[in-house]
Amino acid sequence: MSASRYAYLGPEGTFTEAALRSMPEAATRELVPMVSVPVALDAVRSGAAAAALVPIENSVEGGVTATLDELATGEPLMIYREVLLSISFALLVRPGTALADIKTVTGHPVAQPQVRNWLAANLPDALWESAASNADGARLVQEGRYDAAFAGEFAASRYGLEPLVTDIHDAQNAMTRFVLAGRPARPAARTGADKTSVVIWLGDDHPGALLELLQEFSARGVNLMRIESRPTGEGIGRYCFSVDCEGHITDRRVGSALMGLKRICPKVRFLGSYPRAGVTAEDLAELRHGTSDEAFTEAAEWLARCQDGRA
């Protein structure tokens, strides 16, 4: 395995590359662009890269399905950390292009919902076609296949383009969340401001099946931060659930919830416990009464006394 190599969703000039370069360790790694999320993650599985940074969630569009599906299938991977990046688009064009000249535009599919209103107001007749990434859209404009691309302004110089319009976003404070995925290993030490990710499969479809999963978290005071259903490919109505929850697997409440899920579900895939980006333990509210590690320990000791006749 190349321990010095990190893969990412390329080509050069993507928001993913910008997020990766914001990590201090990126300065000492070889950063290798890949053509898609599956290819980037497969580079980790094959040992060609130590880890890969890929987008997983956008505050406007929601989950990045390619990443969610790839983490749920194939050889297991684990999330080491997450990175948040503010997203604002520029309309990149070849030098000399005016707004009135633009008949075709391109960008990543996740970008379209973030610029839809701007497009309707400023380029209502322009034809949109999706690209593998925003930077790949810039490359296609450079090659003359489209008139303009929505990408990060930082991508303009890499592809010989000009930012005709900058700071384009329909939603203020739009963010994209990226995750650094690697081979399974012992999770990073608990920080007190952590997140745990899992994929859960239902055993069978029956009334209250989803509620049973949610109760494993609720009964232990574990807050869910995201839950999304994804088709398993086994037929209509067959789904798995991608879940992020607050806490670390070594927290008694989280570990107990995961054990509860493992008892009632045919399959649970642990994707990692890792520090939450931009959050510290001091930022979090106090745990609900009865859900701390101390409360679990006291309850276990009480049960042991009862079993020994010492209650």
Provide the pLDDT for residue 282.
86
Length of the chain: 311
Tokens of 157: 């110089």
- Which residue from 88, 83, 56 is spatially nearest to 274, judged by alpha carbons? 83
Pairwise CA distance, residues 35 & 10, whole Å = 6
Provide the pLDDT for residue 132.
85
Place of tokens 């360790």: 25
Q: In one letter, which amino acid is 297?
A: T
The pLDDT tens digits along the chain (311 residues) read: 467 899 999 889 999 999 999 999 999 999 999 999 999 999 999 999 999 999 999 888 889 999 999 999 999 999 999 999 999 999 999 999 999 999 999 998 888 888 999 999 999 999 999 998 899 999 999 999 999 999 999 999 999 999 999 999 888 888 999 999 999 999 999 999 999 999 999 877 778 888 999 999 999 999 999 999 998 877 777 889 999 999 999 999 999 999 999 999 999 999 999 999 988 888 888 888 999 999 999 999 999 999 999 87
Sign of the CA dihedral running 254, 255, 256, 260: positive
User: Which domains, and CATH codes, for the chain?
Assistant: 87-166 (3.40.190.10), 185-310 (3.30.70.260)
Pairwise CA distance, residues 60 & 211, whole Å = 27
Q: Are 10 and 49 in contact (CB under 8 A)?
A: no
Provide the pLDDT for residue 2.
66
Provide the pLDDT for residue 198.
98
Pairwise CA distance, residues 116 & 122, whole Å = 10
- Which residue from 122, 273, 107, 81 is spatially nearest to 196, judged by alpha carbons? 273
- The three-class DSSP label of residue 145 is coil
Place of tokens 């987008």: 55
Tokens of 54: 């890929």
Radius of gyration of the chain (CA): 22
Provide the pLDDT for residue 281.
87
Pairwise CA distance, residues 17 & 26, whole Å = 10
